[in-house]
Amino acid sequence: MASLKLLLVLLGFLYLAIIEAQETTYLKHNCSSNKNFTANSAYHFNLQSLLSNLSSTTTDFYNATAGTTNDDTVFGLFMCRGDVPLQLCRQCVQNASERISSECRYSKEAIIWYDECLLRCSNFSFFSTVSEGPTLCLLNTVNATFVGSFNTFLAKMLTGVVAEASNYSASPKNFANKSDNISAFQTLYTLAQCTPDLSSKDCHRCLRDVMGNISMCYLGKQGGRVLYPSCNLRYELYPFYRSITDSAPAPTPSANTPLPIVLTVLLGFFCYILQKRRKKSYKAVLLENFGDESATLDSLQFNMGIIEAAANKFSQENMIGKGGFGEVYKVTKANLEYVKSK
Ligand SMILES: *[C@@H]1O[C@H](CO)[C@@H](O)[C@H](O)[C@H]1NC(C)=O
Ligand SMILES: *[C@@H]1O[C@H](CO)[C@@H](O)[C@H](O)[C@H]1NC(C)=O
Ligand SMILES: *[C@@H]1O[C@H](CO)[C@@H](O)[C@H](O)[C@H]1NC(C)=O
Ligand SMILES: *[C@@H]1O[C@H](CO)[C@@H](O)[C@H](O)[C@H]1NC(C)=O
Ligand SMILES: *[C@@H]1O[C@H](CO)[C@@H](O)[C@H](O)[C@H]1NC(C)=O
Ligand SMILES: *[C@@H]1O[C@H](CO)[C@@H](O)[C@H](O)[C@H]1NC(C)=O
Ligand SMILES: *[C@@H]1O[C@H](CO)[C@@H](O)[C@H](O)[C@H]1NC(C)=O
Ligand SMILES: *[C@@H]1O[C@H](CO)[C@@H](O)[C@H](O)[C@H]1NC(C)=O
Ligand SMILES: *[C@@H]1O[C@H](CO)[C@@H](O)[C@H](O)[C@H]1NC(C)=O
Ligand SMILES: *[C@@H]1O[C@H](CO)[C@@H](O)[C@H](O)[C@H]1NC(C)=O
Ligand SMILES: *[C@@H]1O[C@H](CO)[C@@H](O)[C@H](O)[C@H]1NC(C)=O
C-alpha cells in the first residue's frame, strides 16, 4: 500500500518534471480574414519557405523575408520570452509555425502567441514598427487583497520593469523581469519584453500603452498580462518565469531502452528537480504548467486530480512538509479559475 502511494506521488512529479522540460503552451492566434492568398501561389510557396527558415533558426529572435517581387514577398519574425532556453525556444517556434499554417491556412496576416514565443507573418514589412493590434489580454480572476496598496505597489513595479526593458544598455534583449516583496507573505513578479527590432523609444511607447491597458483591465486583480504583437507585459504573485539554472535537458528515453533503466533515470531526474525546487520554485513548477491557461483546463483538471491525490498521500506520509504542499495546491486551484477576457 505504501509503495502504491509512493508510486502515485512519483508519477505526479515525473509528469511535472517532463512537462516542464519540454512542453510549450499555446495561447491564441489571429488571422486576417480579408487578406487571403491562393493555394499553391508564389505567395504560398514563399510563406512556406519563410516558416521553414524561421523554425530552423537557432536564436531567440529572428526576422526574415522571402520572395522577390512586391506582390508575393512575405515578412515574418519570431521572438521567444527572454528567460526561455534556446532549445525550448526552437521547439516553440516549430510548433508555432506548424500551427499557424494550419489555423491560418490562406491568411496573409497571421500572429500566434505561445507562453514561450510569438510568431508573426504578413505581406507588408512590419519590422521596426510598433504594432498594438491584435491584442491578447489574459486575466487572473482572483482579487488582490488590500487592493489600494496592491495597486500602488503594482504601478511602481510595472513602471520599473518597463523602464528597464526599454533601456537597451541595461537590457540588450529588450527583456526585463523584476520581483519584490509586497509583504512578508507575498512577492510580486513582473516581466516586460519588446521585439528587438524596435528602438528603445518605440519599445517604451509600446509598453506604456500596454500599461495603460493593464490599469484599465486588471487593477485589483492578482495577475494579468497584455500581449501586443510588438511588446508584452505580465505580473503575477508567483514566479512564472524560469530561472536560468532551470534549463535542464529533457529526458528522452528511446523506445527500446529497458523500462527499469528508464525508471531509474527518471527517478534520478525527479530527485534532482525536487531537490532543486523544494524551497523556492515549487509554485513555479506547478503554476507555470498548470496554473493559468484555460485552453488546457480540461487536461489540467485530470492532472491536478493526480497531483492532489499524490500531495495528500504524500503529506500523510509526512515525507514533505504539509504546509508547503497544501499551500501549493491551494494557490494552484485558485489559478485554475483564470479566464480569457478578450
Ligand atoms: C508540439 O506539438 C506536438 C503536437 O502537435 C506536441 O506533442 C509537442 O509536445 C509540442 N512540442 C512542444 C515543445 O510543445
Ligand atoms: C534564412 O534565410 C536567410 C536569407 O535567405 C539565410 O541567410 C539564412 O541562412 C536562413 N536560415 C536558415 C536557418 O535556413
Ligand atoms: C530585419 O529587420 C530589420 C529592421 O528592423 C531590417 O533592416 C532587416 O532587413 C530585416 N531582416 C530581414 C532578413 O528581412
Ligand atoms: C481567408 O482565409 C481564412 C482562413 O485562413 C478563412 O477563414 C476566410 O474565410 C478566408 N476569406 C476569404 C474572403 O476567402
Ligand atoms: C497585402 O495584401 C492585401 C490583400 O491581398 C493587399 O490589398 C495589400 O496591398 C498587400 N500589401 C502589400 C504591402 O503588398
Ligand atoms: C483579430 O484581430 C482583429 C484586429 O485586431 C480583431 O478585430 C479580431 O476580432 C481578432 N479576431 C479574433 C478571433 O480574435
Ligand atoms: C472582486 O472584486 C470585484 C470588484 O471589486 C467584486 O465585484 C467581486 O465580487 C470580487 N470577487 C471576488 C471573488 O471576491
Ligand atoms: C539605462 O541603463 C544604464 C545601465 O544600467 C543606466 O546607467 C542608465 O541610467 C539607464 N538609463 C535610463 C534612462 O534609465
Ligand atoms: C523577500 O522575502 C524573502 C523571504 O520572505 C526574503 O528572503 C527576501 O530577502 C525578501 N526580498 C527582499 C527584496 O526584501
Ligand atoms: C489599450 O490601450 C489603447 C491605447 O492606449 C486603447 O486605444 C485601447 O482601447 C485599450 N484597450 C483596452 C482593452 O483597454
Ligand atoms: C529574472 O529572470 C532570470 C532568468 O529567468 C532569473 O534568473 C532572475 O532571478 C529573475 N529576476 C528576478 C528579479 O526575478
- pLDDT value of residue 3: 54
Pocket mutation for ligand 11, best pick of 158, 235, 243 (most atoms within 8 Å of C-beta): 243
C-alpha 78/C-alpha 99 separation (Å) is 14
| CA distance to 73, 182, 224, 240, 328, per residue, from 296 (Å) | 36, 30, 17, 17, 19
- pLDDT value of residue 212: 85
- pLDDT value of residue 59: 94
Instruction: Give 310's Cβ-side CA count (13 Å radius).
Output: 19
Ligand 7 pocket residue status of 143, Cβ below 6 Å? yes
Question: Which protein residue has the closest C-alpha to ligand 5 atom 4?
Answer: 35
C-alpha 219/C-alpha 144 separation (Å) is 9
- pLDDT value of residue 178: 94
Question: How much distance in Å is there from the Cα of 39 to the middle of ligand 3?
Answer: 27
Question: Which protein residue has the closest C-alpha to ligand 7 atom 5?
Answer: 220
C-alpha cell read off for 184: 512578508
- pLDDT value of residue 261: 45
10-residue mean pLDDT series, the chain (342 residues)? 50 51 86 92 95 94 93 95 94 96 94 96 95 89 84 92 93 92 92 95 95 75 92 93 52 39 49 45 39 34 35 28 26 30 28
Question: How much distance in Å is there from the Cα of 55 to the middle of ligand 2?
Answer: 10
Tell me, what DSSP letter sits at residue 230?
A: S
C-alpha 21/C-alpha 285 separation (Å) is 10
Sign (positive/negative) of CA torsion 17, 25, 191, 193?
positive
- pLDDT value of residue 11: 55
Task: Write the DSSP assignment of 180-202 as a string of letters.
Answer: EESSSS-EEEEEEEE-TTS-HHH
Instruction: Give the largest CA-CA distance in the chain.
Output: 70
